[in-house]
Amino acid sequence: MGCVPNYFMKKLVVCISFLAALCAGHTQAANIDPSFKFSTMETEHFSVHFHQGLEDVAQKAASIAEGAHDTLVKEFRWTPREKTQMVLVDNSDFTNGFATVLPYNTIYIFVVPPSIDMTIGEYEDWLAILIIHEYSHILTMDPARGYSDVMRSIFGKPSPEATSFHFSCSLPQALPMYFCRAGGTKALQHGQRQNIQ
């Protein structure tokens, strides 16, 4: 009496999870001002997309990203098979960024200089720290070796709902995220010191 069959609840949970994952990807597109006119700058490992007024920032970001790539791929022992897309936007009052590997390896950077009360503002080059941090996420989420590599070559990257579930519920995947935040930055700083000396 009043009990919902177990199979119905499972289907309901799967449907809600699928819709939530599907909608989550579309919300970011609504955050970009449609009046922006985007250009693209290509480097060996990155496609940097930026809107008017960010030409100098895009040049600096491309240089930082290539330097980060050279150092971090050695640390993470993974080189992405595709160029990483980097989207630079200035439509926020908050310095931040995020990374995703679906459908492509993509980094979004909000290129607003940090306010005085933000921790990232304490670093000499906040843009470098932000790019290193987000690229570390790409190098953590993108790798496919062994069985995963075979399955990816057949089916492509995993679906968004599987990835969201996997990363939110899997401690072994959460630990590299913790280590990459500090480790990636330290590795790059170490690499830069070696290049300068």
Tens of pLDDT, residues 66-100: 999 999 999 999 999 999 999 999 988 888 899 99
Mean pLDDT (whole number) for 167-184: 45
Question: What domains lie within the chain, and their CATH numbers?
Answer: 34-196 (3.40.30)
More confident residue, 123 or 69: 69
Average pLDDT of the chain to the nearest whole number: 77
Residue 121, token pair as written in the block = 């503002």
Q: Does the model's pTM come out above 0.85?
A: no
Rounded to 5 degrees, what angle do the CA atoms 47, 69, 67 make? 95
Strand ranges inside 69-125, DSSP E: 84-89, 96-100, 106-110
Proportion of the chain above pLDDT 90, given as a percent: 40
Give a three-class secondary structure readout of 19-36: HHHHHHHHHHHCCCCCCC
Mean pLDDT (whole number) for 162-179: 45
Among 34-38, 81-85, 109-113, 187-191, which range has the highest average pLDDT? 81-85
